[in-house]
Structure formats: structure tokens, C-alpha cells
């Protein structure tokens, strides 16, 4: 078909991407997942994972309120993320088919085998915390959930990157770091919101580490992926990710101010959580935008062919 | 063992779609719908030449693309037909490309790799088929396909695509689309033989001066290990809505798992480090 012009680029050095297409129609299919189900599942799962690890460490460090908050957030977050995942299925009554096989080539299969035991363990631990019964079993379950927590934070990055969706596949090196950082700051955010300042120091530090990783990875997504980086800077994704970055910075700043102020600490936590949600919805939106325009499929592939 | 992992008891079967003889009759689309009971996708006038199907999807397992191109008048064959209008107007001619697209039945199929339930499987003919009684509609195969073939059917919830008429070829019949094709643009057979035939056809066209004729998907060294359904095209793949250099996304999966593992260890280390000196 006719040659379509790429949209105006920010850098004048780079000529507009020129490419051919079939009536400008997309080549790859748009992700079939529903919003908000799947971005929410990414956000809640990551928050739950980091919270479980925080709780497990808090338990051995003698910080009972941090342990309690982390345990409850891990259980609530993972159960809600399971619900969002099941709700998204075309045949929800067949959700157990997710555990029919174990396939390392399918990040959703691997993820199901992480999510299922994680949510079970986190829920058992929370049940023990809430009822005060079977404390040793609850602690054991919570520790196991804490060990699985980091995997919960990052497997979803592979889930997105292992597609033909240009923004996600081209971002496969950065997404695990982004999701790890975002999950850490969200988990820390939940703790800052719920825990008094006397026990909040670890959450404050984890939040800062997560925020730094998140901002660095996001910067690379926005600038290092060639023409595909546009999808992280423009449109709905650009707006959400800009909001996410601002909220992350606000959260980090407030958490430092909030060493003694309960209010500032809670506000920092809320900002981190909002940032985490913005980041996940933003990354999802970038994927959708990149699948709708054949430019993001054709131009990188043509560049790859020219480089051979 | 074949490259896709099957024991060599049954030769690999596939399609060779020679678009140079496609007349755009859409008999393939109709025959496919009839045989496979594929629901109507609704009437939709797209304003894209004679194409009102648009793309492959849950309810379109064959899709005939129509491309109208301005070419020098010398490139247009004179069929001796009466003309209308003012033929000398600008000296330009119109070339009409038509091509029947279909699932590629990749050697390394991303849809099959990422399916978490095992609903997608590889048949003894080395084709890739969805088992509707297993699919739970997770939708992961949809963005995984580098060609945008497989899709969730909205009112059903499960994913559907071409089966290469699994129920026909097991009985020695050719798939419905190939059977219905009046010009043999769609050819079904053993893949090795089809590849030889396609190479001869390309050479023939080149000898006739159609130097733009090229094969698409026939190369076992491409990003998906070659496709079971491949094509002879008369322009660049993206002109037909095909990706110029498709890659099976799972090729990069080991690296992705390593990076995710490293990032997870980073989270664990950050959590542990944040408790240093925090003990009461």
C-alpha cells in the first residue's frame, strides 16, 4: 500500500520512520486481556510479593506490626490478583486448567505455579495472624510466602515480554527491573501507610531502593528502544508513566520527611501505591498502543534486517 | 526427529499459497467457514479495495488481501480487452495484488509455546491446533503470535484459528480452502515437496521478468524456523500485512527468565538489606 509517514519524532536528527503497510492496519493482535483486570493483577501481585518478603523479614527482626501489615497485604493482594486473573479468563470456570500442566515455555504456566502456592501460603499466614491460632504453622507459611515473594514481583515482566507486542518484547531487558522496583516501592508503600514510624524504617529504605530501580528502568524504556520508545512517552501510556514517575519521586521525598511524622509517612505510602498502579497501567497501555500501529512491528524488523 | 520435535513417522504437511495466480474469488474464505462452521463476522464494508474481511481472526481463518498499486503502463499485461475511459490519461497502469493469508503453522510456534493449559498442541502432521475442550480463554496466545493470526472469539471466550483442516487431512482429504481454490493458488501437500515446487515457480517467474517474486516463510533458518504455510509474494511482506522478519518470542525466553531471576534476587537482597540494624 501507500507509504505511510511515521509521526513526528522528538529528535530532529532522526528522519521520520518510513514504512509500508496493508492499509495502515496492525500486523500483530492487540493483547486480548481486559483492563483493568490484567494491569491490576500485575500491580496487586507485585505489591503482595514484596509485602510477603517484608513481613517474613520483619518477623525475624522483631517488628510485629510491620510483620502483621505485610502478611495481611500479601494475602489480600494475592487473593485479589487471583480473582482479577480468573475474571479475565474467557472461560472462568476452567481456571483450574492453569494447573493442568507445568510449561517452562509459558510464563503464564510458571506464573500460575508461583501464584497458586503463594496465595495459599499468604492466606494461611494471614488466617493465623487474624485468628491467633496455629502460630507456628502460620509463621512457617509466611516465611515460605516470603521466599516466593521476589518471584511474584518479577515473573509478570516475563509474562508481558514473552509476546510479539512490540513495546513489551523490545523492553524485555528493562521490564524485569521496572517491575521489581515498582513492586518493592508498592510493597513498601503499603507498609508505610499501615505501620507506625517506629517500625517503618525498613519499608522506607526498601521504598527508596525500589524507586531508584523503577526510575532508572523507566528512563531506559522511554529512550533506548528506538522507535518503540515512543509508545512509552506518548498518549495514555506517556501520561500514566509521567504521573507514575512524579508520584514515585513524591513518595520517596515524603518518606524521608516522614521519619517522625506518621502523616507524612502515610502520604508517602499512598503516593508509592498510586505510582505502582500508574506504572503497571502505563506499561500495559504502551503495549496496546504499540500493537495498534504497524509502524512498531515493521520498522524495528526492517532495521534488524538491514543490520544483518 | 523433526525440528518441531515430532518423530518422522508422518511427513510434515502444509500449504503453499502462490499469490501470483490468486484471482481474489474468496472461495477459500467461504469453503473454510462452511467446513469448519466458523461463525459470520458480521457485515463490514471496510473501503479497502475488495477486502471486507480485514484480517485473520477467530472468525476468519482465511483472509484474501486486495492491494491496488500504480505501476508503469508497460508493466500491465494487455489482455486485448476493450477499455473504457481515457487510457492515455497519465500513462500509468494499475496492478492488483491478491493473496489468501492463513495461519502459518510455524515450526517454532509462539502460540503453542505460551499456552499455559496445553490446549494448543502439535499434531502428527506438524500443524498447530487448539483443543476447544481444553482452552480456558486466557488469551495469552493472542499477543504471542508474531503474525496476529489467533484471536479470542468474543461471545465464546476461547481462542480459535485455522486447524489446517485436521479432521480432513487425517482422512487423506485436502483442506477445504485448497479444495475450493479454482486456480490452485492454494496448494496442499508434503512440505518438502511444496518447497521444491515453490522454488521452481519462483524461478519461472523470474525467467519471465517478474523479478519481484519472492518466497515468504519457506526458509527453515528464519525467526520461526520456517512455516508450514508459506507464500509466493509479488511485493514486500508488509504490503500484504505480513511481518517482514517475524521471530518466535520464546526464542528470547531463557534470557528473559535469567533477567527476571536476577531482578527477583535484587528484590530479595533489597528487602534483607533494608532490615540491617532494624532489629529491636
Q: What is the dihedral of CA A139, B257, B128, B247, to 10 degrees?
A: 160
Kindly list the residues from chain A whose CB atom is less than 8 angstroms away from the CB atom of residue B67: 1, 22
H or E element, residue A295: helix A295-306
CA-CA distances (angstroms) from residue B196 to A69, B10, B190, B191, B237? 67, 19, 10, 9, 21
Residue of B nearest to A88 (CA): B138
List the CATH number of the domain containing A134.
Answer: 1.20.1630.10
Asked if B267 lies within 8 A of A57 by C-beta distance, the reply is no
pLDDT in tens, B136-195: 999 999 999 999 999 999 999 999 999 999 999 999 999 999 999 999 999 999 999 999
Instruction: Check pLDDT > 60 for residue B118.
Output: yes
User: Would you call A215 helix, strand, or coil by DSSP?
Assistant: helix
- B186-190/B62-72 β-pairing: unpaired
Query: Is the CB of B72 inside 8 Å of chain A's CB atoms?
Result: no
Radius of gyration in angstroms for the set of CA atoms belonging to chain B, rounded to a whole number? 23
pLDDT at residue B94, as a whole number: 83
pLDDT confidence bin for B280, thresholds 50/70/90: low
Contact B257 A63 (CB under 8 A): no
Task: Answer yes or no: is A75 within a domain.
Answer: yes
Number of structural domains in chain A: 1
User: Is the predicted pLDDT of residue B93 greater than 90, yes or no?
Assistant: no
Residue A2 pLDDT grade (very low, low, confident, very high; cuts 50, 70, 90): very low
Residue B277 pLDDT: 79
Contact between A163 and A188 (Cβ < 8 Å):
no
In a domain, A91, yes or no: yes
Question: Could you identify the residue written with the cell 486448567?
Answer: A97
Rounded distance between C-alpha atoms, residue B245 and residue B235, angstroms: 14
- What are A163-212's pLDDT values in tens digits? 999 999 999 999 999 999 999 999 999 999 999 999 999 999 999 999 99
Ramachandran region, residue B193 (left: φ > 0; alpha: ψ -120 to 50; beta: rest): alpha
- Bridge partners of B233? B214
Domain of residue A167, residue span: 30-306
Distance (Å, whole) CA B16 – CA B227 = 10
| ipTM (interface predicted TM) | 0.93
Has residue A222 been placed in a domain?
yes
State the fold for domain B13-247. Alpha-Beta Plaits (3.30.70)
Is pLDDT at A296 greater than 80 in this prediction? yes
Residue pairs between chains A and B whose CB atoms are closer than 8 Å:
252
Please check whether residue A297 lies inside any domain of the structure: yes
Q: Where are the domains of chain B?
A: 13-247, 252-280
Report the pLDDT value the prediction gives residue B79, as an integer from 0 to 100: 59
Structural domain includes residue A13: no
Task: Give me B148's grid cell.
Answer: 496476529
State what percent of residues in chain A have pLDDT above 70: 94
Residue A110 falls inside a structural domain: yes
Is residue A11 included in any domain, yes or no? Answer: no
CB contact at 8 A, B127 and B163: yes
Strand partners, B94: B70
Q: Which residue's C-alpha cell is 540494624?
A: B277
Interatomic CA distance for residues B29 and A20, integer angstroms: 25
How near does any CA of chain A get to the CA of B46, in Å? Answer: 10
Average pLDDT taken over every residue of chain A:
94
At A235-288, the pLDDT tens digits run 999 999 999 999 999 999 999 998 889 999 999 999 999 999 999 999 999 999
Spell out a b/e string for A114-134, using b for 16 or more CB atoms within 10 Å of the CB, else e: bbeebbbbbbbbbbbbeeeee
- For A166, A170, A234, the CA distances from A11, given in Å and listed in that order, are 21, 20, 14
* pLDDT higher than 50, residue B263: yes
Lowest-pLDDT choice from A81-85, A279-283, B43-47: B43-47
In this predicted structure, what is the pLDDT of residue B2? 66
Choose between B43 and B208: higher pLDDT.
Answer: B208
Rounded average pLDDT over B98-127: 97
In B62-213, beta strands by DSSP E: 62-72, 92-102, 120-122, 128-130, 151-152, 159-160, 186-190
Test A177 with B151 for CB contact under 8 angstroms. no
> pLDDT class for A8, splitting at 50, 70, 90?
very low
pLDDT of residue A71: 98
Picking from B48, B249, B259, the nearest residue to A23 by CB comes out as B48
Between CA A265 and CA A64 the distance in angstroms is: 18
Whole-number average pLDDT of chain B: 92
Residues in chain A: 308
> How high is the pLDDT of residue A260?
85
In a domain, residue A240? The reply is yes
Report H helices in A20-134. Answer: 37-61, 64-88, 107-131
Range list of β-strands (E), chain A: 3-5, 18-20
Amino acid at each position: 500500500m501507500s507509504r505511510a509517514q511515521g509521526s513526528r519524532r522528538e529528535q530532529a536528527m532522526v528522519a521520520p520512520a518510513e514504512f509500508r503497510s496493508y492499509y495502515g492496519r496492525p500486523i500483530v493482535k492487540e493483547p486480548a486481556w481486559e483492563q483493568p483486570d490484567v494491569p491490576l493483577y500485575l500491580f496487586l501481585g507485585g505489591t503482595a510479593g514484596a509485602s510477603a518478603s517484608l513481613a517474613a523479614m520483619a518477623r525475624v527482626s522483631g517488628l510485629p506490626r510491620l510483620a502483621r501489615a505485610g502478611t495481611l497485604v500479601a494475602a489480600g493482594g494475592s487473593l485479589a490478583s487471583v480473582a482479577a486473573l480468573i475474571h479475565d479468563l474467557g472461560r472462568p470456570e476452567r481456571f483450574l486448567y492453569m494447573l493442568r500442566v507445568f510449561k517452562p515455555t509459558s510464563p503464564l504456566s510458571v506464573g500460575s505455579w508461583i501464584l497458586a502456592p503463594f496465595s495459599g501460603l499468604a492466606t494461611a499466614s494471614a488466617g493465623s495472624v487474624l485468628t491467633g491460632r496455629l502460630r507456628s504453622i502460620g509463621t512457617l507459611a509466611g516465611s515460605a510466602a516470603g521466599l516466593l515473594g521476589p518471584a511474584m514481583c518479577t515473573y509478570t515482566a516475563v509474562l508481558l515480554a514473552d509476546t510479539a507486542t512490540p513495546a513489551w518484547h523490545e523492553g524485555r531487558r528493562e521490564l524485569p527491573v521496572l517491575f521489581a522496583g515498582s513492586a518493592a516501592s508498592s510493597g513498601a508503600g503499603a507498609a508505610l501507610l499501615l505501620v507506625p514510624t517506629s517500625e517503618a524504617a525498613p519499608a522506607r529504605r526498601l521504598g527508596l531502593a525500589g524507586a531508584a530501580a523503577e526510575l532508572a528502568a523507566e528512563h531506559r524504556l522511554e529512550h533506548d528502544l528506538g522507535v518503540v520508545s515512543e509508545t512509552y512517552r506518548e498518549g495514555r501510556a506517556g501520561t500514566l508513566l509521567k504521573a507514575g514517575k512524579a508520584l514515585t519521586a513524591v513518595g520517596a521525598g515524603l518518606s524521608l520527611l516522614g521519619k517522625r511524622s506518621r502523616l507524612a509517612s502515610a502520604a508517602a505510602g499512598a503516593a508509592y501505591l498510586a505510582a505502582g498502579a500508574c506504572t503497571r497501567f502505563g506499561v500495559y497501555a504502551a503495549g496496546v498502543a504499540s500493537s495498534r500501529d504497524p509502524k512498531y512491528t515493521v520498522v524495528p524488523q526492517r532495521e534488524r534486517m538491514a543490520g544483518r | 526427529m523433526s525440528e518441531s520435535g515430532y518423530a518422522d513417522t508422518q511427513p510434515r504437511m502444509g500449504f503453499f499459497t502462490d499469490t501470483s495466480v490468486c484471482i481474489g474469488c474468496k472461495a477459500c474464505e467461504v469453503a473454510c467457514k462452511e467446513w469448519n462452521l466458523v461463525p459470520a463476522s458480521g457485515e463490514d464494508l471496510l473501503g479497502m479495495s475488495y477486502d471486507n474481511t480485514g484480517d485473520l481472526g477467530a472468525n476468519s481463518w482465511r483472509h484474501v488481501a486486495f492491494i491496488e498499486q500504480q505501476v508503469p503502463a508497460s508493466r500491465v499485461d494487455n489482455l486485448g480487452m476493450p477499455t473504457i475511459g481515457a487510457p492515455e490519461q497519465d500513462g500509468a497502469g494499475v496492478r492488483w495484488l491478491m493473496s489468501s493469508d492463513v495461519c502459518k503453522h510455524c515450526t517454532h510456534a509462539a502460540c503453542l509455546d505460551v499456552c499455559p493449559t496445553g490446549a494448543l498442541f502439535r499434531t502428527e502432521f506438524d500443524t498447530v491446533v487448539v483443543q476447544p475442550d481444553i482452552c480456558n480463554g486466557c488469551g495469552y496466545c493472542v499477543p504471542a503470535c508474531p503474525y496476529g493470526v489467533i484471536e479470542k472469539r468474543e461471545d465464546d471466550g476461547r481462542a480459535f484459528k485455522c486447524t489446517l483442516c485436521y479432521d480432513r487431512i487425517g482422512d487423506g482429504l485436502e483442506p477445504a480452502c485448497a479444495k475450493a481454490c479454482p486456480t490452485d493458488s492454494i496448494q496442499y501437500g508434503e512440505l518438502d515437496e511444496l518447497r521444491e515446487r515453490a522454488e521452481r515457480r519462483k524461478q519461472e517467474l523470474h525467467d519471465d521478468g517478474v523479478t519481484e517474486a519472492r518466497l515468504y516463510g519457506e526458509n527453515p533458518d528464519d525467526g520461526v524456523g520456517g512455516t508450514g504455510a508459506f507464500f509466493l509474494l509479488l511485493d514486500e511482506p508488509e504490503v500484504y500485512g505480513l511481518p517482514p522478519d517475524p521471530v518466535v518470542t520464546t526464542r528470547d525466553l531463557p534470557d528473559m527468565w535469567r533477567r527476571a531471576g536476577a531482578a527477583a534476587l535484587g528484590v530479595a537482597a533489597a528487602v534483607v538489606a533494608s532490615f540491617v540494624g532494624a532489629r529491636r
